[in-house]
Chains A and B, each alone.
Chain A
């Protein structure tokens, strides 16, 4: 992958952002947790489609996590499916003491280990750490991925990064400040010296443009 978005962040008006501080990253996590909590609340109230949104949000991360235990692409998907179903069944008892993803992560790891035991395969002795699982680039499919899937994955990645690089500079700046630096709309507005509504619009237009590029791959 030739493009490193981490170094393409803002060069336009205003003060360039400092390297992403840990507190901001935490802020993003908190925001995500708040959205998840709202979705979980809806699932617990009987809205099954809210769970569909949680699956859509975390499916890639969970499959990648499970592939660290179960490298085969198809088996990993089956195990991930089972993990999500277990999570759905257990959601009525989820009290929100931890973040939803933390909880889902544990269910997924346990499901993967149980799968290995059921297959008379030995689960790894050491657990995958949470941060490791969330950020480990090596979580992508490797040896057991089919060539087609691997090609498609690379194609999606290449298309996304290419589409972002092709965005008008102001849009790309707003999007990367949000996605890579994890800044809030308010912070981005201060940096880019524009109203918050403009930030919101620019970020959306960036995502919309990328979506139009990857949609044929995703739906194909």
Chain B
């Protein structure tokens, strides 16, 4: 430890170092135990000279830092085990996500009737299905004759936490979805608006190329 550094430390405790010098020295102190020891000694000296209450030399700093390190060591495994306890749920969520992707991939565009202009579709009420019983993802989907079989026991409820059947319309919107002025844009010239009453105006074609 050079004399210059020690002199800087002396100036630091008097508040006589510039901002940059101070920052440099504080960084240096992080790695220099001897310099920290000198810091302690100089403050003990100051306390004695100024008749401040003092005592025998202490190693309280070491005890405090050891105690903090010990606390950290105790907390670290705890946080690890906490994260482990979430793993099954994360796995379930991941499985549900995979199921969702599979559903989207299976839903064919041809399932929509292109013979009629706009079809007004009202999503079926959210019926409470018993857990673990395979059922249709959404009544509207089954009505459209889509042969999608959800994975047993893994309805969409797993993802959201509440029963949220996914309609064929929603699938389509999500697959091709683009929002234009607050509405899902599915192609063609007319966006499809989701109204507050959950009634959707469904285009007759997934491509929308033949809409008026």
A residues in contact (CB < 8 Å) with B: 5, 30-32, 34-35, 38-39, 42, 47-53, 55-57, 59-61, 63-65, 67, 73, 77, 80-81, 84-85, 88, 133-141, 145, 149-150, 152-153, 156-157, 160-161, 164, 176, 178-180, 184-185, 200-201, 203-204, 207-208, 210-211, 214-215, 217-219
Neighbouring A residues of B41 by C-beta, 8 Å: 211, 214-215, 218
Whether A52 and B36, one on each chain, are in contact in the complex, defined by CB atoms closer than 8 angstroms, is: yes
Bound Cα distance A137, B212 (Å): 95
Q: How far is the CA of A31 from the CA of B56 in the complex (A)?
A: 26
Interface segment out of the listed B13-21, B89-97, B149-157, B201-209: B13-21
Given A77-B58, A160-B48, A204-B6, check contact A184 B16 (CB 8 Å).
Answer: yes
Cα distance, A145 to B53, chains bound together (Å): 14
Contact in complex: A211, B55 (CB < 8 Å): no
Contact A180 B49 (CB under 8 A): yes
B54 at interface by CB-CB < 8 Å: yes
Min Cβ gap A135→B in Å is 7
Question: Is A61's CB under 8 angstroms from B52's CB?
Answer: yes
The answer to whether B56 touches A88 (Cβ under 8 A) is no
Binding site for A on B (CB under 8 A): 3, 6-7, 10-16, 22, 26, 29-30, 36-58, 60-61, 63-65, 67-68, 71
What are 11 A-B pairs with beta-carbon distances under 8 A? Answer: A30-B15, A31-B14, A35-B12, A48-B65, A53-B29, A60-B55, A84-B60, A152-B57, A153-B54, A184-B16, A204-B10
Is there contact, CB below 8 Å, between B26 and A179? Answer: no
Instruction: Determine the main DSSP class of A at the interface with B.
Output: helix
Q: A140-B55, A179-B50 are in contact. Are A53 and B36 (CB under 8 A)?
A: yes
A52 to B59, CA, bound (A): 11
Smallest beta-carbon distance A204→chain B, Å: 4
The 9 residue pairs across chains A and B that have the minimum distance between CB atoms: A139-B53, A31-B15, A64-B53, A204-B10, A55-B61, A204-B7, A56-B40, A59-B60, A152-B56
CA distance A95 to B71 in the complex (A): 24
- Give the docked Cα–Cα distance between A203 and B29 (Å): 20
Inter-subunit contact A35/B53 (CB<8 Å): no
Query: Chain A contacts of B51 at CB under 8 A?
Result: 135, 137
Query: Which residues of the partner chain A approach B45 to less than 8 Å between Cβ atoms?
Result: 160, 207, 210-211, 214
**Partner among B3, B50, B60, B71 whose Cβ is within 8 Å of the Cβ of A81:** B60
Residues of chain A within 8 A of B49, CB atoms compared: 5, 160-161, 164, 176, 179-180
A56–B53 contact, CB under 8 A?
A: no
Task: Please report the C-alpha to C-alpha distance between residue A214 and residue B57 in the assembled complex, in whole angstroms.
Answer: 10
Give the shortest distance, in Å, between B16 (CB) and chain A (any CB): 5
| Contacts A56-B36, A214-B45 given; does A149 touch B55 at CB 8 Å | yes
Chain A contacts of B29 at CB under 8 A? Answer: 49-50, 53
> Which residue of B is nearest A27, CB measured?
B15
Q: Smallest CB-CB separation from B44: which chain A residue?
A: A60
Minimum CB distance partner of B59 in chain A:
A59
